[in-house]
Structure 1
Amino acid sequence: MDESRNPAPLDGPPVRRARLWLRPALLTIGGIAAALLLVAIDQVLAGVLLAALALLMGFWTSPLRRGRHVPLATALEMRSDERAIILWAPGDPLSARLQTAIRSGRPDVSWVNVLQDPMAQEFLRTSGGRGALPLVIVGSHVLRRATVGQLLDAMADGAERAAAQSESA
């Protein structure tokens, strides 16, 4: 794939790069400020715990967190009604909810981190942009801003379609 047409996620315009870091920076700075206030009123243990939580949340929502990732090209090769492909991004609250609910390394789910994959970035742009995350693909069906319930329903429907196709064959 031509790298000049699909820049790495942090090679884009400065404004776009800054937006990726806005939420992590606010979480970290706000948490550290609150922790310092707790320390100032002699709540040292609570302050230390809050500072640690702020650093963890800053990392969790930042582009530094790699998370689960399969290249989109690889995931699309295995595309079927019995598999889900989930495009996600660090820092996206709906993506984090979906990852929390679908924790185990399920063989029927492929996670694609759009910040690591130029092909996934292009697919996301043509499918509604960052506002469509998490984007779920099950067979030929695409779900934008998918919830856990919608993902599980789509996978059940896909399994039914696959079973109907195998019976008719």
Structure 2
Amino acid sequence: MTRAWFLPLLLVVGGSAVATVLFLDGSPGAAAPLLLVFVVLAGVNSPLIFPRSIGALEAQRRSAADGRPIVYWRPGCPYCMRLRIRLGRDARQAYWVNIWRDPAGAAAVRAVNDGDETVPTVVVAGQSHTNPDPRWARGHLFPSA
């Protein structure tokens, strides 16, 4: 858990330090937006945005049992963020695998994307969909939503 918060904490502390220096140098107009940018970046990279990641093998086992989709993603990916936001609360129904933390997840993504680690890669009923349109994903992953 601590490791998941390291980057967001680093962004907030670093942004606060830079904003403080700007503020003390007499540039409060530049300090405020810069701090806001760092806080937003911290939020985007925090565990608050993405559901808790599990390992690829566990996600595949669970998905085979209950049919829920698997979403392979990585922190900082704007397309992953777009998909996550558009899925809303329904995103928690999918199994999320962070390919930067799980070598098996990265290998699974490379296997279906000609050796590239293109994310988000969504697997539904054994079919992979690379960077699907969020409207398609919302309609196909969770038709009852």
Tell me which interval the TM-score lies in, with the shorter structure as reference length: 0.5 to 0.7
Give percent identity, aligned residues only.
19
Structure 2 residue aligned with 1:126: 111
Pairing of 1:110-149 with structure 2 (within 5 A): 110-128=95-113, 129-130=116-117, 132-149=118-135
When the two structures are aligned, how many residues end up with a matched partner? 124
Deviations 1:104-139 (A, max 9, x none): 375631111111101001111222223x31000011
Aligned partners of 1:148 and 1:39: how far apart in 2?
44
Structure 1 residues 105 and 116: CA distance shift in structure 2, 3 A: farther
Distance 1:141 1:56 in 2: 37
User: Structure 1's 143 and 39: CA in aligned 2 closer, same or farther, altered over 3 A?
Assistant: farther
| Within-5 A mapping of 1:8-23 | none
CA shift, 1:58, in A, is: 4.1
Matched, 1:98 2:102: no
User: With structure 2 as the length reference, what TM-score do the two structures score?
Assistant: 0.65
**CA positional deviation for 1:57:** 4.1
In 2: Cα distance, 1:102 partner to 1:156 partner: 9
State the secondary structure of the residue aligned to 1:112. Answer: strand
Q: Which amino acid aligns with 2:71?
A: I
Instruction: Please give the secondary structure, in 2, of the residue aligned with 1:102.
Output: helix
CA distance in 2, matches of 1:143, 1:134: 8
**2:60 counterpart letter in structure 1:** L
The whole-number CA distance in structure 1 between the counterparts of 2:90 and 2:140 is 18
Q: 1:53 aligned to 2:39?
A: no
Does the 8 A contact of 1:85 with 1:111 survive in 2? yes
Question: CA 1:56/1:123 → structure 2, altered by over 3 Å: closer, same or farther?
Answer: same
Which position in structure 1 is the counterpart of 2:4? none
Unaligned runs of 5+ in 1: 1-24, 160-169
* CA RMSD of superposed structures (Å): 3.4
Partner of 1:13: none
- In the TM superposition, residue 53 of structure 1 has moved relative to its aligned partner by 2.1
The structure with the largest alpha-carbon Rg is: 1
Q: State the TM-score, normalizing by the size of structure 1.
A: 0.57
